[in-house]
Chains A and B, each alone.
Chain A
């Protein structure tokens, strides 16, 4: 039993340090003057299947709160605060879309859309979210991979 625990924590450390080495920290993300982010946050290709899940999950992307997305018509309740995301990959490059996910405020000034990969500069954040980003780096890459499948 103890051996097993040891093995798990060992694997966890390897996995965890491996991930954090290749990940770009939120404060180190480089965006151009229009907010676009060219470099991957993790160096690991995004997984569109997982990205689709993160997109609809209310505790993660919750993108449906504000966007209609016909590709997910099986989901009830699509919000209408932001634009319809159908064909979004035809309108924006990957770097632009990554920039919107990381910090939409740099792309659309004053937008209501949250910044999904920003961990500081907030006001009165609930304790359990302090110092955290809404999405993890790989989740951002996964959602991005999913968005890139949205073509008309």
Chain B
């Protein structure tokens, strides 16, 4: 079954891409397992140059869109299953699993929609990965997981899935405001030998083809996202890193302050959309 799925995905990569925008369905509605997901909505008031925010799903071709509409077809769900295994796995010097203290992952329903958020005890902006690692080291006496690797991405996806269909609503004022401002500045700063900012592609040119890619708004409401390109879950920071390398810029550190700030700012550009974790993209 999994094998058949792999072949299907490979075929989709080979032929699907050639279908190009001809079969992109920009007006389709996303319903997953009977639950409607909001993929277009009025832009949050802090956005000056865009009236409507749109999920990356609306820019993908029909075949890719379809994969996200059915959990049985969504290859990201295989990783969520791995996340469940990890959730229940006893590890570390204190002989505990996540389940020992948090019971079922559904305890975290809604958490994804407010991430990243301020952590008062650390006095810092925290991504989901920070919470996972803090519990591993402090509560379990276990090794931290590496950002951007399958175990971490799987558990982050499992927690994110609990909020699927709920409205993204990260806080941008108060303690996090300086980080939000930094993220905004980074979004509009040109970098790399190609000398482009995130905004050059994801604000000025969304909806336009850049060679074989249909540019989206670069939203992160669906992360971690399963990409057909590398057949695995991709974290938010890994995606930022990839976009920076494409324009020949030195990426900021995965898990570092700049990417955390950018994560907050980009997340806030999606306030009002539904959380879609785990989404499927090409």
Contacts and interface: CB of A to CB of B under 8 A. Distances in A.
A125 B205 contact: no
Interface string A121-132: 011111101001
Contacts of A112: 196, 200-201, 204-205
Interface in A107-127: 112, 114-115, 122-127
Interface stretch (A1-9, A38-46, A72-80): A72-80
Contact of A79 (B189, B194, B210): B210
A47 B190 CA distance: 33
A64 B20 CA distance: 15
A64 B250 contact: no
B196 A134 contact: no
A126 B211 contact: no
B105 to A, nearest CB: 38
Interface in B229-266: 244-245, 248-250
Interface string B188-205: 011111111000110011
A45 to B, nearest CB: 28
A79 B192 contact: no
Most chain A CB within a 10 A radius of its CB, from B20, B201, B249: B249
Interface residues of A, number: 23
Given A124-B249, A125-B249, A129-B248, A77 B190 contact: no
Q: How large is the interface on B (under 10, 10 to 19, 20 to 34, 35 or more residues)?
A: 20 to 34
Contact of B248 (A81, A115, A125): A125
A112 B199 CA distance: 10
B254 to A, nearest CB: 15
B50 interface: no
Nearest to A104: B195
B171 to A, nearest CB: 29
B212 A80 contact: no
B208 A80 contact: yes
Most chain B CB within a 10 A radius of its CB, from A62, A65, A81: A81
B47 interface: no
A95 interface: no
A76 B201 CA distance: 21
Interface string B176-193: 000000000000011111
Nearest to B210: A79
Contact of A125 (B192, B211, B212): B192
Across the A-B interface, give the 7 residue pairs with the lowest CB-CB distance, nearest first.
A77-B212, A65-B211, A129-B193, A112-B200, A124-B191, A124-B250, A114-B194
